[in-house]
A and B are shown apart, each in its own frame.
Chain A
Amino acid sequence: MQAAERAPARVAATDPVLVHIKGAYKHFPIGGFGGLAVRAVDGVDLEIRRGETLGLVGESGCGKSTLARLITALMPVTAGSIMFDGQDITRLRGGGMRRVRRKMQMIFQDPFASLDPRMTVGDILQEPLDNFHVGSVRERRQRVQELLRLVGLNPNFTNRYPHEFSGGQRQRIGIARALAVNPSFIVCDEAVSALDVSIAAQIINLLQDLQREFQLTYLFIAHDLAVVRHLSDRIAVMYLGKVVETADRNDIYDHPQHPYTKALLSSIPVPDPVVERDRAPITLKGEIPSPVNPPSGCRFHPRCPIARVPGVCSEVEPPLEPHGAQDQVAACHFAGQA
């Protein structure tokens, strides 16, 4: 892939951190008196550096989207702190919260569900501008047209309704809305998963162009590993509510340390049929365990090919520690040994 050769990654590891997530938890209580809860996000530590694209990957249901909603303060955390630009956004209310919202925006997964069907495109794009009282009404109208042009849509489309657009066009509108108030940080929650491959490629290129143009920081959530590799500077892998490995894009693809990362990466098909035929992808046994009652010790141990059970893996929860390359961390007692 062309992007894979584009090393070294654009952002040096010494860059200041824009978003710092410390021990974030999100538990959803599920009825009853037993205090049972779905532990969607269960102790996540993560840094997002200024100007980088951090790819976040993991199976469905591992808590990626919940983490995205915690970072953008669309949901309150159960515990932990999320520092955005030096400010703990979990403690913000009202006006302070609104000021932060202006700096971080989100692009949603489903371009058909994320645009209000009863509003024109112009109204949708003008809404954030109205909320933050940006400029005069006439300036806002001009800005809306600018935004449409910016994402490659006809600026005269302001009077149309979302249902008149195709999926790719709608996603462009979603991107334009996120850009409206000049944010510095954008969370892309599976922003291209709902699109055709060719359309997804256009949107990804658009996102990259915009990043270069406006020095944006992205958190890019996806389950398509090829897309993540193409777009990200660093990659974090989530499993059952926890981050199990974080590293530079090339390091994680070339020598993953966590056995889960290894299995995940081996599931990417190789375009060369000869190589593909001789390749033996690591198949994980079993299903992803219930996030209501995660396994003891390392929560990957029931499915792990190298786990020592009974032993340290089923008893002690491994912390995120440096393994492998510089700037690479993994939460595994036997990191790199698969």
Chain B
Amino acid sequence: MALPVAAVEGAPIDWEVPEQQVGLWSDAWQRFRRNRLAVLGLGIVIFLVGVALISPLLVHFGIIHDPIKQQVESIETPPGVNGHLFGTDILGRDTLSRLMLGSQVSLTVGLLVQGIIFPIGLAIGLTAGYFGGRIDNLLMRFTDIWYAFPDLLFVLVVVSVWSVNGPWFVQLIPIFGAIALVNWVGLARLVRGQVLSIKEKEYIEAARASGSSPLKLILKHMLPNSLGPIIVTLTFGIPNAIFLEAVLSFLGVGIRPPQPTWGQMVADGTEAIYANPTSVVFPAFAIGFTLLAFSFIGDGLRDALDPRMRR
């Protein structure tokens, strides 16, 4: 059809729009980058991931000590003696290499647990929020019941009832499961709340009026618009999961030796905390710094993804 420009009589059209196109994600990245702590946190996490990936190779080529090998001649050495940069523990194992290999467990738990939580929380939250009514009621009461369990107690019970033998990543399966089971609740509630508020927005109505199906409404409109808070919650969930795993290992129900984990190192070290404080201090610092780094990233993301923070 012929389409005349329906220009307005008398009034010129305003073509003046900033030339450079700013996408929402690149905009968020700009704001994230300005947050020094968040960038520091991101740096620490990238460093840790690198350490976790290369430490088995370093052990293989003998660049760092074998974390399992007991060196009887250097039990409980202070840092720097006999080539043990961070000292050794009560059995004469090198603390540095144990820390480096221990990061594998912590990071895997932190990241994979969120990977399990994400689809569960998303599915339950989206369904409850979008359909509302009886479905919402049913799902949310179920969620409330889960929420009522004390986290640590629940995880302890699951882990002690259901334990698996094998290499450390196989042993981790019940731990993943237990931590994910107590942690999806928060995400489901958050997603439901997001969907409930977005559902009432005019642009959702507009999309419905232009013939979009419910699936399209959820996937193309509701999900992208609630992604900001979801990502932030997932990021804050990472240190939480790492901490829970450390507690489990500390309590002796986590990963079994010889695979080193930070929680277990703290537990072992406390026996000789006065004689050899470094074997507690280093793994404790490792846990603390990792938690802090993820928290900084979460903080940065929260600010970066909030359009009201735009300057």
Contacts and interface: CB of A to CB of B under 8 A. Distances in A.
A164 interface: yes
B14 interface: yes
B207 A116 contact: yes
B161 interface: no
Contacts of B15: 154
A115 B221 CA distance: 10
A294 to B, nearest CB: 26
A68 B93 CA distance: 75
Contact of B212 (A131, A163, A209): A131
Nearest to B2: A213
A74 B208 contact: yes
A181 B209 contact: no
Given A101-B210, A128-B210, 10 more contacts: A69-B205, A72-B209, A98-B211, A106-B205, A109-B202, A113-B203, A117-B24, A150-B3, A177-B206, A206-B6
B225 interface: yes
B11 A105 contact: no
Given A101-B211, A118-B225, A165-B17, A174 B24 contact: no
Nearest to B211: A131
Contact of A160 (B21, B203, B208): B21
Contacts of A202: 8, 11
B3 A116 contact: no
Interface string A200-244: 011001100110010000000000000000000000000000000
B29 to A, nearest CB: 15
A166 interface: yes
Contacts of A168: 14
Interface residues of A, number: 51
Contact of A127 (B202, B212, B224, B225): B212
B203 A115 contact: yes
A205 B209 contact: no
B73 interface: no
List the 3 shortest-distance A-B pairs measured between CB atoms, nearest first: A128-B210, A131-B211, A113-B202
Given A101-B210, A164-B17, A206-B6, A198 B203 contact: no
Given A131-B212, A161-B24, A213-B4, A153 B221 contact: no
Contact of A114 (B13, B17, B202): B202
Interface residues of B, number: 35
A267 interface: no
B203 A116 contact: yes
A169 interface: yes
Contacts of B7: 152
Contact of B209 (A106, A113, A151): A106
B202 A105 contact: no
B23 interface: yes
B5 interface: yes
11 contacts: A98-B211, A101-B210, A114-B205, A117-B225, A127-B207, A131-B212, A149-B3, A153-B13, A166-B14, A177-B206, A206-B8
B210 A181 contact: yes
B217 to A, nearest CB: 10
A159 interface: yes
Given A74-B208, A160-B21, A108 B202 contact: yes
A150 B6 contact: yes
Interface in A103-143: 105-106, 108-110, 113-119, 127-128, 131-132
B22 interface: yes
